Each structure stands twice: as C-alpha cells, then as structure tokens.
Structure 1
Amino acid sequence: MSRPTSRMMITRGTQMDRTTEMLAAYACRLSFEDLGFKTVHQVKRTLVDTMGCAMGGFVSEPAKIARGMASSITSTTPSRVLGTNEYTSPDMAGFANGVMVRYLDCNDSYFSPGGGHPSDMIPAVLALADPMIADGRTVVTAIALAYEVFCRLSDQVVAGDLGWDQGIFSVIGAACGAGRILGLDQEQMGHAISLAVTPSLPLAVTRSGELSMWKGCATAAATRSAVFAAMLAAEGMSGPGEPFEGKRGLWEQAVGKPVEIAEFPLGANRKGDDPFRITQTIVKSYPSQIHTQAPIGLALELGKKVLLADIKSIHIDTYHTAASSASSEPEKWDPKTRETADHSIPFLVAAAFQEGAVTPGSFTPQLIADPAKRATMAKMTLSEDAEFTAKFPSEYNCRITVTDQAGNEHTAHTSYSKGHKNNPLDDNELEAKFRSFSAGVLSDMQCDQVLESIWTVEEATDMDDLFDGLVV
C-alpha cells in the first residue's frame, strides 16, 4: 500500500501523521448514501439492542452513581441523560448513558480477533445529537462511522493481548462519531482524534481477576473523553500532530512497533467482501461476556435432556480466548461480584443447568453465593480445543459433554451462538429483547413509541422522540 505523497497541515505548521490524516479524511467524507440499505438497517437494529440494554441497566448501582455525578453538572450545551428529563454536559451525558448501556454486558460484540463492544460508542453520538439537534441520517452515519474506526483498528491491532483495554480504540471511534455530529472539518477532526488518543491508554486490569463495577464503566469513560476531545477541537484546541506514528506516540508506546493501518474503503472502492463492520457484529442473547454465550446456550439445551441431580460430570471444550480466563483466574471459579460472575463460564453454565435460564435476575448476591452452584461447578472441567482455537474468530466453537450417574454421555456443540451474524436474532427477536429489558421501567406504549422512532430514525429531524420515549 502506497503512502500519501503529502500530509495535511494543521495549526502552527504541524504535520499530521498518516493514520490521523487517513482517519480524519474518512470521518469527514463518509456519507449516508455510502451506507446502503443493509448497513442502515443494521444501525437501526443496533440502536434497538443498545437502548434495550440501557433500560435494563437503568436501575443498576453504577448507573445511579453516574447519573448522580451527571446531575451535579450544568452546561450551556445541555445534553439529555437517558431515561430522564434531566440534562448535563455532553461529556457527562456520554458517560452516564454509557454506563447504562454497558452494565448488563448484553450489548453487541466484535472480534476479529481484536475488538470489544462497539455499541459502547453510541452514547457519544447521542450525547451531541441531542444539543446539536442532529437529524436521523446524521446520527446513523455517525454511528456507522464510529464502528468502522473502532472495528478496523481492532482488525489490525489486538489491544487486549498487549495489556490494553478496548477503550484504547473506542475513544477514537467515538471521537470521530462525535466530531461528525459537531460538523467538524478535516483539520478539526484530526485534532479531535489526537486529543482523544493522547490522554487515553486504559489498562486491561479492568477485566482481570475479581471484576469491579469499573468493568462496565471503563468504555463509558472513553466515551466521555471522546466527546470532550471533539468539543475541544470544535473550539479550536490543537493536539499533537503525530499521535500514532510520532516519537512516543500510540504505536511506539502501546504496540511497541510501527503499524500501518490499511486505508478504509469508501464509495466505489468498497467491495462486496469488505462490508461495513457494523454488519459483522454479534448480538448477545444472554447478559454475560461474549465468550460465555455458546456455553450458556449449550447448557440450556442439555438441561432439557439431563436432570441436574443426575449429572456426574460436565466437561467444556472451547477456544483459547474463552478457556484462558477460567484456566488462569481462580476468581472465575468462585465469583464474588456480578461483574465476575457474568464473565465466569463455570458459574453461568451452573446457572443455566440449575435455573433453566440466564437473565439479569441471575446475578443477585444470593444466587452468586449459592452453595448449590458451587457444587455444580465442582463437577466441571474446562479445556482448550486446538481445532476450535484455530477457527476463532470466524467460529465461536464450544462443546459440552455431560456424563450422567449411569455413565451415559450427552453432548451438545455449536460453532455460532444465537446472535452471531451466521445465526442472528431476527428483528422480532431483537424487539423482544428490548421489551424484556425495558419491562421494569417502560410501559408497553413507551416501548412501541421507542421502537417506532428507531425503525424510522432516518426520517427524523431530531432525536426528541427517542429521548422522550425512554423517560422512566
């Protein structure tokens, strides 16, 4: 791939590095017309899923803390906090709304093998769409843009393997999406990207060992930083010209070697085998880590065939990324917090067998500490299957073998858990998920209103119907 022959100049004569220039140019040039029907529809599907997750997380303790913080901030650019009629600054709205979206750990995922939860960036777009009175087409374009940036960076750099949390790239995608809502020009967009990258190196300790509330808040903090960076750039703030490729820039400090990000396809340059990344995401069926989705589904399937009391042993075969947490972190075999439990394959498989479902209600302190679950977990073994590892992330293979007291083996296997793009939830199933998570806080009429506003979002002149419909 050839390098550009010139670099865009930014204030005070500073040159912008190739990665920043490429991202800024793409962020400003992508249009709604570039997206096409399939991508636009997937943005709508993602909004349905994300708003459902936000409503499901509304009453959580982290969300209450975040809203409490947000309520102490006033702004001349007020932005709505989801679920309320209250306003705060756009960056704090991005944080509070991001905490709600992420709490249940049931929003979408993308791994290639790098990645994370790209819908964590949607609150950045909405935080500025409200005060800027952005129309639906602009919002849809900004969301698709944020996904392209986060996912394509993750295609080439596996940040988690390097010890960094997913906010390292979500802050960049969110800054581009926020900048698009603000109408930044290419120079300003470059600064927004730089101002997002330079102060944001989140540690992967967030998702190691016994997990805290911060597990569901870390990317919300990246969202807050992204909105702040975009707003600074809009006011004329400049950032380092070479945040990626410069001395002590992101590639040197975080990756340890140069990285040349491939050009993002645009318009006629996009091929059918290189789709918009938002169409390649996985929607979750259960409120838990992505690598636990297949084990839960298989346990529910086997639970219909074998009574819990008849189980002698349970063996789980899966790919390295899924197996490594349970293999290297003893906390996953004895979770003490909701955040650890929803990342624990042993706990979740035990819950599926014992309760016949895994829902937000599966994570009460009493159920997490339930001795009966520990007894079921004690019957489990888990190992990596090399063939499964070789096929990841194209396939998310898992096999569970249950041996009953009579010595009979019962096996279930899947390559694609329900919600994977090769085994997707249809629109009706997505709506059912939204209604299920919203049931405790919204009326049926409100759910109808919100769903209608999302399915017709490209026709909207502003986001008022969405925000109004979500008021608890």
Structure 2
Amino acid sequence: MTTTDELATFIREVDYETLPDDIVEATKKRLLDSVGIALGAAESETAAAVRETVLQEGRDACSLWATDERASPSGAAMYNTVLTRYLDFMDSFLAPGETPHPSDNVGTVVAVGELVDATGRDLIEATALAYEIQGELAWNAPVRDRGFDHVTHTVITQATAAAALLDLDHEAIRDAIGIAGTAHNALRVTRTGGINEWKGVASGNAARNGTYAALLADNGMEGPKDLFEGQKGWKQIIAGDFEVDLDTSCSRVHDVMTKRYVAETYAQSAVEGIIDLAEEHDIDHEEVTSIDLDTFHGAKLIIGGGEGDRHEVETKAQADHSLPYMLAAALIDRQMLTEQYERARIQSEDVQTLLQTVTVEEDEELTERFEDGEMPAVIDIELEDGTTYHVEKDDFRGHPNTPMDWDELEAKFHPMAATVYGESRREEIIDCIRNLEERHVDDLLALLD
C-alpha cells in the first residue's frame, strides 16, 4: 500500500553519493533543458503577470530568474516554474494514462535550494527524487480519466523536493505531503474545451502550493498523514487504489522525453513527420487539399478534438494544444518554435485555411504501440492533382528511445536563452550546470540574474 510513510522513507534514503553516474548526467540534462526553456519565456506577458503578483508577497528571500527581483520562496518557485512551463517546450514523462512534466519541479528545487544554501549535489539529488516520484505516480496512479489535471501529481512532487532540501525529518515530510495532496487537487477542465492561459500556469501554482506545504511542515504544521489510504482520501477520491515502486537510484529520469519542437507532447512525432515530408517533397501548402493524421488515444483526446474542437484557434494556449494548427503551421513554415505562436502567425489566413483541412483519427493499433513505448504517427497529405505523400513515425528525436545528447541540448538552449543573455553568459550557464556537482546554487543564480 502506497502511503506518506513510504514516500518519506524513500526521500530520506535517496542520496547523491549513491546515485549512478548516468542518473547524475541525465538529471543535469533535465536541468539545462528546463533553464533554457525558462529563459525563452522570460519576456512573455504571462510571465510578467505572475512576476508582478508574486512580488506583492515580499522581495527578500529567493531570486526570480532573468531579473534582479526577489520574492518569497513559494513565490519564486511559482514564477520560475511558470517560466519552464509556459512555452510548452518542457520535458514529459510518457505513461499510458498520464503525461506530466517533471521539469515542473526544477523551479521549486532551485528556489528552495537558494533558501537553504544548497550545493549543486543537493539540487541534483532533489531533482532526481522528484522525477522518480512523478514518474511512479504517472505510471501507477493516472488521474486524467477521473477528471483531475496532472498537476495534482506535481503538487506532491513539489512538496517532496522542497521537503528534501529543507531536510525535514520523517514525520514532517509526511505532514508536507499530506498538506499538499489534500488541499491542492486540480481539475482537468484546465485542458478541455476552450483552453486559456491557466494551462501554462497551473503547474506554477502547484509549485507555490507544494513549497508552501513543506514550509508549513517545517514550522510544525501537521497534515493528514493518511492522505492516500484514509477515508475519503486520495485513493478513494482522486486516483483509485495503486502501488508505486520507488527506486532510490531514481531511474525514472531516463523515461523522460525532451521536446524538439514547441508543441504539446503528443504532437512531437506528427510535427517531425510533417516537416520531413514538407522538406523532402517541397510541398506547396496552397496545393494541399487534405492532411490526415492517424494517432493514438491520448493525442486524439487531448489535442485532436476529443476534449473540444481543435480547429478553432485564436490564441497561443489554443494553438499549442491543437494538432490541426500545429500540423498546418509546421507544413508551411518547416518549423515549430516560438515564432509560430505569435498572435499574427496564429491568425494569418494561410495557416487558418490549411488547419481546416486537417483530420485526426484514433487508431487502436497505434494506441497499443504507444502503450508499449512508442509515439507513433501516420500522416497522409493529398494535393489538388491527386498526389499523396505518406510518412509513418515510431517516435521522434528526443524520445526516450532516441534521446538528445549534450550537443543537441546546447543547440536547443542557445536560441531560447539568447532572448535574455549574450553568448558568453550562455556558455557560462551551460558549464555551470554541466559541472553542477562541483558548484553551488549561488553560482547558478549569479548567472541567472
């Protein structure tokens, strides 16, 4: 039976000194990817709104990335997490019934790490354990089909990462998890129907709440220690019965994908496939009469029309959760990055016309392949003269089956961070994270001011 006692025992047992070298390396890759994505979002209107809000709480404890401002620990955790999440360029854990984004934990790890004067090894350890818990909850306790958003998992992992850095004792960790998991369960309506900006901020809110829960526990606040198994508890109301199998080597970090494109997780193979076709055959979008995508259940449900019409696209929040939009824009532009989500691009006539030709169908065989560890996509493009182009994808570059190496991550990092820092500073950030086990949280934050 999964309990707060089991999670607290796991957190106290995870130790940087016993993490395998490949786990340390993979965790540092997650940190680099998350920081780069965050810097790419630093000048967005949504980030500005969150920044102004958290600054109202206080300005003394923790750094807000890419600014010279400071906020409360929970406020900094929220703001920095919004940065990693807002562009929809973050990593994802691929489970059959849930797809959370473990990089949502990084903003909390660094904020609480600053509060406690953490070493780089402390940051790696807290990040790795958060990824492990997030992966196990996603795999064994999916909540999507029960009407809850995946940040319902995230608030628990935020609390565990913060509790580890605060060095809470066993019972206080149980309190922190109990507070976080009882008080902050998000509804799936965040990502259904008419999608709005809260989609990209919900995980930041979870970061704030998870951090605050750990701080409350650190100051002696008791929480429901029977969070999972208790009467009307998490298992009965939120997830149903489940068991986790937590590994103190934190091997789940290897099961996380890195996005190659600024697009919802389940769109990655399809976007890569349509760009491949467009480039190989030099397809003129004005000659396209139809784009047909066969995909797996989750993709159809979330971004293909299963939870609301995805052909009505006017905003970024709608565009990055619309397969019709992403396929149309990717075919025309041969790319899917931040510029494809500018309002003028979204509302332009060419992409609005082409997205209406896109159909998305679920294929049971592709769903089985997804559940077996692939991310399949089958695309057919038909032109006015009857010519048809076809491509089938098993996965994409960045999927756990074909992970990105350091050079590819650096290539992704540079254009994101270039909106804030020059090349020399960017190289310093990369070097700091790549050698984080020999550095200190202040070394990293000095580069992110």
1:165-184 alignment to 2 at 5 Å? 165-184=149-168
Amino acid at match of 2:404: L
Number of equivalenced pairs: 444
Of 222, 240, 259, the match for 1:284? 259
- Whether 1:119 and 2:103 are equivalent positions in the alignment is yes
Question: What corresponds to 1:319 in structure 2?
Answer: 296
- Whether 1:26 and 2:10 are equivalent positions in the alignment is yes
Q: Indicate conservation of the 8 Å contact 1:22/1:263, yes or no.
A: no
Moved more, 110-119 or 334-343: 110-119
State the Cα distance separating 1:329 from its structure 2 match. Answer: 4.5
Max Rg structure: 1
State the Cα distance separating 1:330 from its structure 2 match. Answer: 4.8
Query: When the two structures are superposed, what TM-score results if normalisation uses the length of structure 1?
Result: 0.91
Amino acid at match of 1:427: W
State the Cα distance separating 1:232 from its structure 2 match. Answer: 0.9
Moved more, 108-117 or 19-28: 108-117
Question: What corresponds to 2:237 in structure 1?
Answer: 253
Q: Indicate conservation of the 8 Å contact 1:125/1:139, yes or no.
A: yes
| Residues 312-351 of structure 1, C-alpha deviations (whole Å, 9 max, x = no match) | 3221111111112423345410112101101111101110
Of 336, 340, 364, the match for 1:358? 336
Of 335, 355, 373, the match for 2:351? 373
State the Cα distance separating 1:463 from its structure 2 match. Answer: 1.1
Amino acid at match of 2:91: D
State the Cα distance separating 1:98 from its structure 2 match. Answer: 0.9
Of 438, 441, 444, the match for 2:423? 444
Distance 1:34 1:310 in 2: 58
Q: Indicate conservation of the 8 Å contact 1:19/1:260, yes or no.
A: no
Q: Indicate conservation of the 8 Å contact 1:83/1:467, yes or no.
A: no
Distance 2:248 2:432 in 1: 29
| Residues 235-277 of structure 1, C-alpha deviations (whole Å, 9 max, x = no match) | 111111211111111111213x4x242342346xxxxxxx611
Distance 1:423 1:352 in 2: 21
Amino acid at match of 1:324: L
Q: What stretches of structure 2 of length at least 5 have no aligned partner? A: none
Question: What corresponds to 1:10 in structure 2?
Answer: none
State the Cα distance separating 1:374 from its structure 2 match. Answer: 2.3
CA pair 353-263 structure 1, distance change in 2 beyond 3 A: closer
1:102-113 alignment to 2 at 5 Å? 102-113=85-96
Question: What corresponds to 1:418 in structure 2?
Answer: 397
Of 50, 72, 87, the match for 1:89? 72
Q: Indicate conservation of the 8 Å contact 1:19/1:261, yes or no.
A: no
Distance 1:54 1:237 in 2: 32
Distance 1:403 1:260 in 2: 46
1:55-66 alignment to 2 at 5 Å? 55-66=39-50
| Residues 351-379 of structure 1, C-alpha deviations (whole Å, 9 max, x = no match) | 01111211101112121112211221222
1:26-425 alignment to 2 at 5 Å? 26-74=10-58, 78-113=61-96, 114-255=98-239, 257=240, 259-266=241-248, 276-304=251-279, 305=281, 306-325=283-302, 326-393=304-371, 394-425=373-404
Local SS of the residue matching 2:262: coil
Question: What corresponds to 1:435 in structure 2?
Answer: 414
Local SS of the residue matching 2:391: strand
State the Cα distance separating 1:309 from its structure 2 match. Answer: 2.7
Distance 1:330 1:173 in 2: 29
State the Cα distance separating 1:79 from its structure 2 match. Answer: 0.9
| Residues 270-312 of structure 1, C-alpha deviations (whole Å, 9 max, x = no match) | xxxxx61111100001111001111111111111212223323
Local SS of the residue matching 2:392: strand
Distance 2:356 2:48 in 1: 36
Query: When the two structures are superposed, what TM-score results if normalisation uses the length of structure 2?
Result: 0.96
Question: What corresponds to 1:11 in structure 2?
Answer: none
State the Cα distance separating 1:75 from its structure 2 match. Answer: 6.2
Distance 1:104 1:380 in 2: 23
Distance 2:142 2:321 in 1: 20
What's the C-alpha RMSD, in Å, of the aligned pairs? 1.5
| Residues 139-170 of structure 1, C-alpha deviations (whole Å, 9 max, x = no match) | 10000011111110111111111111111111
Q: Indicate conservation of the 8 Å contact 1:57/1:103, yes or no.
A: yes
State the Cα distance separating 1:90 from its structure 2 match. Answer: 0.2
Q: Indicate conservation of the 8 Å contact 2:109/2:162, yes or no.
A: yes
Distance 2:242 2:188 in 1: 23
Q: Indicate conservation of the 8 Å contact 1:115/1:151, yes or no.
A: no
Moved more, 418-427 or 319-328: 319-328
Distance 2:306 2:109 in 1: 37
Q: Indicate conservation of the 8 Å contact 1:210/1:336, yes or no.
A: no
Amino acid at match of 1:96: Y
Q: Indicate conservation of the 8 Å contact 2:141/2:242, yes or no.
A: no
State the Cα distance separating 1:212 from its structure 2 match. Answer: 1.1
Local SS of the residue matching 2:381: strand
| Residues 90-144 of structure 1, C-alpha deviations (whole Å, 9 max, x = no match) | 0000011111111100010012122311110111111111121100111100000
Q: Indicate conservation of the 8 Å contact 1:320/1:384, yes or no.
A: yes
Q: Indicate conservation of the 8 Å contact 2:144/2:150, yes or no.
A: yes
